[in-house]
């Protein structure tokens, strides 16, 4: 049978919660961003650059969340990242000395040093400390479709008691994207793929053409999808819903049957931050005594219950190439199979968290580069595409139906974000949104002075920051629970304080200024749009 | 020492300690505690068979502090994704005027609302606060059977010795003065039962005493001995005791002329309970760098 033509849309969703603490010289949770920059975003940029230089014709979609956009463009975090990289370089230099008697380890220590130096060069010299510049470049070159998501990654199905809160999350997210990139995104990543029927009307109003849902969101739609999950559904208002392909998802996501679990790949949980003498590693861990990951890892996964063996980068790269070839072969077989019953070329949508590639799966960026390279070869009939391109190319009318409420979280619905560990936040978030909407409505026809305007805008920022889906997620996973609780409590307290001071006309500019410094995000926000 | 300034007022400078102090003061004075909540009852869909409720009832709205607080949950077939005349309701006892609770619901793809009220001394129900209507999602794809219910008659046949009905004496019910839903004469259909018969969902065998269903009608006391002579009153609910082991009795409002309902009763009598299928999906996602399961 001849190979059938089909589309592959790889979508990376890049998001981290807004973590920036100017009140401290160093703050542990800011390392989330630094790790992701070192291990995920810069390796991705390195791969995109290599593909471009090699003339590979590829198309990739990158969803950049507004908190991530804000952090990547923030001068304080940029300068702290350079300090972080310099510290990492210092550690690798110590490691080269320490491993002098063991050539295999020392080779890896040298490799890490070269990688950190190259990372520093890419960050500070090639892109002037702002990685958004790199993404803009690849977008302008036609390789990268950029989209965004809700302002603070609010989990919309549980915020929609107040529709103004949902609209505000969507609109502020899009405005943030536009202010940094200069154009409006065509697509929208729903945080956690959290969809509920009628959400599409807000997306339509915001100028969005498409979004993503998990597989069962399309499978359980109001009408049986004629093309399964391999063609979008028109939600009835010309906003299209694309579904995650379960097969390509499982091959990458699954920690048991997926590629990242291969024994030759680098072991995430073997890190010198936990393995070396405390005295030695103290300057590179939290407060000098709490062990954390340093990013220096010398072992491969090896196998269950076996002593960890030394990591072999060449062997790992070879495996990444094999897995990329396997991925492409399986997509072609899938396309051939699907084409028999479809009235249009199959569209395989493969969305992943960007942070999987490089952080959790160290070789992920290399694998992705190989996939894009192979997709462009003559050995298959796969065309990488973005969803916006697809909608322009495939002009056949799309089936009209409403997706089912769904998420891509554990169990497929909302239970990860509302359960006994985090349900206390929802009455508070709902009340705050209702209070704000009421106040904004009352002030619609009133003139406010500049100080009141600042306080009102800051109140919207506080609410948005409290609404981040990351806090209930962390509470459920049990990782940094106290931090998540503190963030929600602080933001809601700041919100309450601001509303109270506005209502009682007792705004203290010093306190307001402090909050503007602490939560310096969404500078162009306008409280009047919260309705 | 590092000093910071707001982008909106560069003249005012703040030290890091100032930022820490102001933040602490505000959190201490204004941390949310839920004490200023209005009376409310909020439902949120969690998954096809679960919703989450939180409520707050101001003391001044309570007429009798000693009365039993009840949350009465209703399905609303007219607003659900599929046509049905089957109406369901159940009561959950509440122990406090402010709280949260996960509620297992019997049917997916259905609209639900709820009322919290007091059971008065005369067994009447006084509503204190009502929720908005919410929808729980589908758990299975739409099928042809969604349009025309197909009941396998064989699966409804049970042996006479398998039937077992417990009649509960004078079950206190009704005097529902403000929120009871009328029965409608719409061809009866419900996801729950079609799902069970056609798609072989999880079925749980439960103890006989738990598996009983009851007819809530003091004037009609037919103890059913076979499915062939079931009689069902027109307007009173059937009560499925301890439905699905959820700890509540499910009231089913249905029309006796609907043959499907007789089948349902027969299934119920046979000792099967219908277990709403929990989606068995394991997603392996992370949130940022938070977790890779």
**Residue B11 in contact with partner chain A when CB distance is under 8 A:** no
Q: Please report, for residues A135, B11, B198, B264, the alpha-carbon distance to residue B152 in angstroms, rounded to integers and kept in the order given.
A: 58, 79, 8, 11
Q: Is the pLDDT of residue A361 over 90?
A: yes
Does B47 contact A517 at a Cβ distance shorter than 8 Å?
A: no
Same domain, B94 and B187: no
Answer whether A375's CB lies under 8 Å from A58's CB: yes
Q: Which residue is closest to B52 within chain A, CA to CA?
A: A418
Considering chain A, what is the average pLDDT of its residues? 96
- CA distances from residue A47 to A201, A325, A367, B213 in whole angstroms, order as listed: 37, 17, 10, 65
- Give domain status of residue B13, yes or no: no
Report if residue B18 sits inside a domain: no
Burial of A464 (0-12, 13-18, 19+ CB in 10 A): buried
pLDDT of B210 higher than 50:
no
Closest residue to B137, CB basis, from A405, A430, A510: A405
Count of other CB atoms within 10 angstroms of residue A237 = 12
Among candidate residues A371, A362, A373, the one with its CA nearest the CA of residue A313: A362
Q: Are residues A400 and A442 in the same domain?
A: no
Evaluate whether residue B63 is within a structural domain. Answer: yes
Chain A residues inside the 8 Å CB shell of B139:
220
The whole-angstrom separation of Cα A96 and Cα A272 is 13
Any idea which of A12-16, A321-325, A377-381, B32-36 has the lowest mean pLDDT?
Answer: B32-36
Are A65 and A178 within one domain?
Answer: yes
Per the CB < 8 A criterion, the answer to whether A270 and A297 are in contact is yes
Task: Extract the tokens encoding A96.
Answer: 């080269």
Statement to judge: residues A360 and A394 lie in one domain? yes
Cβ A68 vs Cβ A174: under 8 Å: no
A242 and A152, same structural domain? Answer: yes
Judged by CB atoms closer than 8 Å, whether chains meet at B12 and A16 is answered as no
Radius of gyration of chain B (CA): 25
Q: Based on the domain organization, do A398 and A428 belong to the same domain?
A: no
The candidate with the shortest Cα–Cα distance to B91, out of B103, B81, B79, B99, is: B103
Report the gap between the CA of A264 and the closest CA in chain B (Å). Answer: 19
- Rounded to the nearest 10 degrees, the angle between the axes of helix B16-30 and helix A509-518 is 100
- Are B128 and B175 members of one domain? no
CA A311 to chain centre: 28
Domain-embedded: residue A336: no
> Does residue A121 fall inside a structural domain?
no
Distance CA A530, CA A164 (A): 6
Provide the pLDDT for residue B222: 31
pLDDT (average), residues B217-242: 46
Confidence of residue B258 (pLDDT cuts 50, 70, 90): low
Kind of pairing, strands A144-149 and A60-64?
parallel
How many Cβ atoms sit within 10 Å of the Cβ of residue A69? Answer: 24
Residue B281, domain member (yes or no): no
Which residues span the domain enclosing A219?
7-73+130-247+349-411
Query: How does DSSP assign B23-57, residue by residue?
Result: HHHHHHHH---STTPPSEEEEEEEETTEEEEEEE-
> Where is the domain boundary, A411, A433, A448?
A411
- pLDDT band for position A160 (cuts 50, 70, 90): very high
Number of helices (H) and strands (E) in chain A: give both, helices first: 21, 9
Report yes or no on B49 lying in a domain: yes
Q: Are residues B150 and B170 in the same domain?
A: yes
Closest residue to B27, CB basis, from A192, A409, A490: A490
Residues 6+ apart with CB under 8 A from A442: none
Select from A17, A258, A418 the Cβ nearest to the Cβ of B46.
A418
CATH number of domain containing B59 = 2.60.40.10
What residues are paired with B111 via a beta bridge?
Answer: B76, B135
CATH number at residue A43: 3.20.110.10
| Residue B153 belongs to a domain | yes
Question: Dihedral sign, CA of A180, A185, A189, A194?
Answer: positive
Q: Please indicate, yes or no, whether residues B123 and B157 belong to a single structural domain of this protein.
A: no
Taking each helix axis from N to C terminus, what angle separates B16-30 and A481-503, rounded to the nearest 10 degrees?
A: 80
In this prediction, residue B160 has a pLDDT band, given cuts at 50, 70 and 90, of very low
A274 backbone dihedrals φ, ψ, rounded to 5°: -110, -10
Q: How far apart are CA A106 and CA A311, in angstroms?
A: 12
Q: Is the pLDDT of residue B218 over 70?
A: no
Give residue-wise pLDDT tens across range A80-109: 999 999 999 999 999 999 999 999 999 999
Residue A321 within any structural domain of the chain:
no
Q: What local confidence, expressed as pLDDT, does residue B249 receive?
A: 85
Domain boundary pick from B135, B154, B174: B135
Residues 98 through 117 of chain B touching chain A, CB cutoff 8 Å:
100, 102
Please check whether residue A439 is in contact with residue A503, taking contact to mean a CB–CB distance below 8 angstroms: yes
Q: Could you give the CA distance from residue A117 to residue B145 in angstroms, rounded to a whole number?
A: 63
Q: How far is A130 from chain B (nearest CA, A)?
A: 19
**In A190-308, where does DSSP find H-type helix?**
199-205, 215-219, 246-253, 272-275, 278-281
Nearest alpha-carbon partner for A77 in A8, A119, A29: A29
pLDDT at A1: 63
B174 and B265 in a single domain? The answer is yes
Same domain for A472 and A358: no
> Is there a single domain that holds both residue A26 and residue A154?
yes
Q: What is the pLDDT of residue B82?
A: 67
pLDDT at residue B174 is higher than 50:
no
Domain assignment present for A212: yes
Domain count, chain B: 2
Closest to A37 (Cα-Cα) out of A131, A152, A138? A131
Of A391, A411, A431, the position where a domain reaches its end is A411
Closest residue in B to A224 (Cα–Cα): B142
C-alpha closest to that of A363 among A14, A85, A46, A15:
A46
Tell me if A48 is assigned to some domain: yes
pLDDT digits (tens, 9 = 90+) for B32-57: 987 777 899 999 999 999 999 999 99
> Alpha-carbon distance A221 to A213, whole Å?
11
CA-closest candidate to residue A212, choices A347, A397, A349: A349
The 10s digit of each residue's pLDDT in A297-308 is 999 999 988 999
| Domain shared by B188 and B107, yes or no | no
CB A282 within 8 A of CB A289: yes
Q: Do A355 and B289 touch (CB under 8 A)?
A: yes
In whole angstroms, what is the distance from residue B76 CA to residue A298 CA? 60
- Predicted confidence band at B252 (pLDDT cuts at 50, 70, 90)? confident
Give the pLDDT confidence score for residue A255 in this predicted structure: 66
Q: What is the DSSP string of A280-327?
A: HHGGGSBTTTB----S---BB---TTSPPPBP-HHHHHHHHHHHHHHH
**pLDDT of B162 higher than 80:** no
pLDDT in tens, A297-345: 999 999 988 999 999 999 999 999 999 999 999 999 999 999 999 999 9
User: A432 and A386 in one domain?
Assistant: no
The reply to whether A296 falls in a domain is no
Among B79, B106, B135, give the residue marking a domain's end: B135
Query: Residue A474: in which H helix or E strand, if any?
Result: helix A470-477
Inside any domain, residue B194: yes
Instruction: Note whether B188 and B76 are same-domain residues.
Output: no
| Chain-chain contact of B26 with A489 (C-beta, under 8 angstroms) | no
- Let me know whether B108 and B185 are in one domain: no
Tokens encoding B61: 């709205």
Count of domains for chain A: 2
What does the pLDDT average to over B80-107? Answer: 86
Mean pLDDT of A57-70: 98
Which residues of chain B have a CB within 8 Å of the CB of A413?
A: 45-48, 137, 279
- Give the whole-angstrom CA distance, residue A148 versus residue B196: 42
Same domain, residue pair A402 and A480:
no
Q: What is the mean pLDDT of residues A148-175?
A: 98
Given pLDDT bands bounded at 50, 70 and 90, which one contains residue B235? Answer: low
Residue A237 lies in a domain: yes
Taking the C-alpha atoms of residue B102 and residue A173, their distance in angstroms, rounded to an integer, is: 31
A67, A172 contact by CB (below 8 A): no
Confidence of residue B217 (pLDDT cuts 50, 70, 90): very low
Query: 3-state SS of chain A: helix, strand, coil percent to 5?
Result: 55, 10, 35
Q: Is the pLDDT of residue B257 over 60?
A: no
Domain of residue B45 covers 40-135
Instruction: Judge if A434 and A407 occupy the same domain.
Output: no
Residues A373 and A11: their CA atoms lie apart, in Å, by 16
Q: What is the mean pLDDT of residues A161-179?
A: 98
Residue of chain B nearest A198, judged by CA positions: B135
Same domain, B124 and B222: no
Q: What does the pLDDT average to over A20-43?
A: 97
Distance CA B283, CA A353 (A): 12
pLDDT digits over B103-124, tens only? 999 888 999 999 999 988 888 8
pLDDT reported for residue B178:
33
B144 confidence band (pLDDT: 50, 70, 90): low
Q: Which residues, in sequence order, are CB contacts of B66 under 8 Å at separation 6+?
A: none
> Are B247 and B159 found together in one domain?
yes
Same domain as B222, residue B106: no
pLDDT of residue B256: 54
Residue B287 sits at φ, ψ, to 5 deg, of: -120, 105
User: Which distant-in-sequence residues (6+ apart) come within 8 Å of B234 by Cβ?
Assistant: B183, B255, B256
Is the residue at B293 inside a domain?
Answer: no
DSSP character at residue A128: T
Q: Mark which of A393, A411, A429 sits at the end of a domain.
A: A411
Q: Which of A193-197, B87-91, B175-179 has the highest mean pLDDT?
A: A193-197
Same domain as A162, residue A238: yes
Chain pair A-B, CB pairs under 8 angstroms: 211
Which one of A32, A216, A222 has the shortest CB-CB distance to B288?
Answer: A32
pTM for this prediction:
0.87
The answer to whether A338 and A6 are in contact (CB under 8 A) is yes
Let me know whether B219 and B266 are in one domain: yes
Contact A22, A518 (CB under 8 A): yes
Best residue of A404, A450, A457, A527 to probe chain B, by most B CBs closer than 10 Å? A404
Residues A67 and A203 in one domain: yes
**Distance between CA A266 and CA A231 in Å, rounded?**
36
* Res. A31: pLDDT tops 70: yes
CATH number assigned to the domain comprising residue A427: 1.20.1430.10
């Amino acid at each position: 049978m001849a190979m059938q033509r089909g589309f592959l849309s790889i979508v990376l969703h890049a998001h981290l919660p807004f973590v920036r603490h100017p009140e401290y010289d160093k703050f542990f949770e800011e390392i989330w961003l630094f790790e992701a920059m070192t291990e995920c975003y810069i390796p991705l940029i390195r791969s995109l650059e290599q593909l471009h230089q090699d003339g590979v014709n590829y198309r990739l979609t990158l969803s950049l969340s507004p908190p991530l956009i804000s952090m990547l463009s923030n001068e304080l975090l940029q300068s702290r990242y350079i300090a972080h990289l310099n510290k990492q370089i210092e550690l690798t230099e110590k490691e080269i000395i320490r491993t002098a008697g063991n050539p295999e380890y020392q080779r890896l220590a040298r490799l890490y040093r070269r990688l950190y130096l190259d990372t520093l060069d890419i960050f500070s010299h090639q892109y002037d400390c702002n990685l958004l510049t790199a993404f803009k470049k690849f977008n302008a070159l036609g390789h990268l479709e950029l989209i965004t998501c809700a302002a603070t990654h609010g989990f919309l199905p549980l915020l929609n008691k107040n529709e103004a809160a949902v609209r505000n999350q969507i609109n502020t997210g899009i405005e943030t994207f536009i202010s940094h990139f200069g154009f409006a995104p065509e697509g929208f990543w729903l945080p956690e793929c959290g969809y509920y029927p009628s959400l599409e009307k807000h997306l339509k109003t915001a100028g969005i053409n498409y979004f993503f849902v998990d597989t069962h969101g399309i499978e359980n739609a109001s009408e049986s999808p004629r093309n399964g999950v391999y063609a979008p559904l028109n939600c009835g208002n010309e906003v299209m819903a694309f579904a995650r392909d379960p097969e390509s998802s499982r091959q990458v996501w699954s920690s048991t049957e997926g590629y990242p679990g291969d024994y030759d790949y680098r072991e995430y949980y073997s890190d010198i931050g936990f393995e070396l003498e405390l005295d030695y590693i103290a300057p590179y861990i939290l407060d000098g005594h709490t062990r954390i990951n340093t990013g220096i890892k010398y072992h491969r996964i090896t196998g269950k219950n076996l002593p960890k063996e030394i990591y072999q980068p060449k062997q790992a790269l070879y495996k990444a190439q094999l897995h990329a070839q396997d991925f492409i072969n399986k997509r072609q077989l899938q396309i051939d199979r699907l084409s028999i019953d479809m009235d249009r070329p199959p569209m395989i949508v493969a969305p992943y968290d960007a942070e999987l590639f490089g952080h959790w799966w160290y070789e992920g960026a290399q694998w992705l580069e190989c996939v894009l390279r192979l997709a462009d070869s003559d050995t298959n009939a796969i065309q990488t595409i973005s969803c916006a391109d697809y909608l322009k190319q495939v002009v056949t009318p799309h089936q009209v139906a409403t997706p089912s409420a769904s998420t891509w979280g554990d169990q497929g619905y909302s239970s990860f974000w509302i359960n006994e560990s985090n349900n206390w936040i929802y009455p508070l978030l709902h009340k705050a949104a209702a209070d704000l909407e009421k106040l904004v409505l009352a002030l619609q026809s009133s003139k406010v002075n500049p100080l009141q305007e600042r306080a009102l805008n800051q109140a919207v920022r506080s609410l948005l920051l409290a609404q981040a889906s990351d806090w209930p997620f962390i509470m459920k996973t049990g990782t940094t629970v106290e931090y998540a609780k503190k963030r929600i409590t602080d933001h809601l307290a700041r919100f309450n304080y601001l509303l109270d001071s506005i209502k009682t006309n007792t705004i203290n500019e010093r306190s307001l200024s402090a909050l503007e410094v602490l939560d310096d995000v969404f500078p162009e926000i306008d409280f009047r749009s919260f309705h | 020492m590092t000093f910071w300034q707001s982008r909106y007022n560069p003249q005012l400078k703040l030290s890091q300690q100032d930022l820490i102090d102001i933040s602490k003061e505000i959190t201490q004075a204004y941390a949310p505690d839920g004490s200023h909540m209005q009376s409310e009852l909020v439902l949120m869909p969690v998954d096809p068979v679960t919703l989450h409720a939180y409520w707050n009832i101001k003391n001044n709205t309570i007429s009798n502090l000693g009365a039993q607080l009840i949350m009465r949950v209703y399905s609303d077939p007219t607003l659900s994704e599929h046509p049905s005349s089957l109406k369901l309701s159940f009561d959950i006892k509440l122990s406090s005027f402010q709280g949260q609770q996960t509620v297992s619901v019997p049917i997916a793809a259905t609209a639900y609302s709820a009322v919290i009220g007091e059971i008065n001394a005369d067994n009447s129900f006084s509503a204190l606060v009502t929720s908005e209507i919410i929808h729980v999602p589908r758990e299975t794809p739409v099928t042809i059977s969604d349009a025309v219910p197909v009941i396998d008659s064989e699966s409804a046949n049970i042996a006479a010795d398998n039937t077992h009905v417990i009649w509960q004496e004078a079950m206190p019910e009704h005097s529902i003065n403000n929120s009871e839903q009328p029965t409608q004469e719409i061809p009866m259909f419900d996801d729950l039962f079609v799902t069970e018969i056609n798609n072989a969902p999880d079925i749980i065998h439960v103890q006989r005493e738990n598996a009983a269903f009851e007819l809530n009608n003091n004037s009609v006391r037919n103890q059913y001995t076979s499915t062939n002579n079931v009689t069902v009153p027109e307007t009173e609910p059937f009560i499925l005791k301890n439905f699905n082991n959820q700890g509540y009795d499910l009231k089913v409002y249905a029309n006796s002329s609907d043959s499907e309902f007789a089948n349902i009763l027969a299934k119920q009598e046979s000792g099967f309970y219908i277990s709403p299928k929990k989606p068995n999906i394991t997603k392996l996602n992370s949130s940022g760098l938070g977790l890779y399961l």
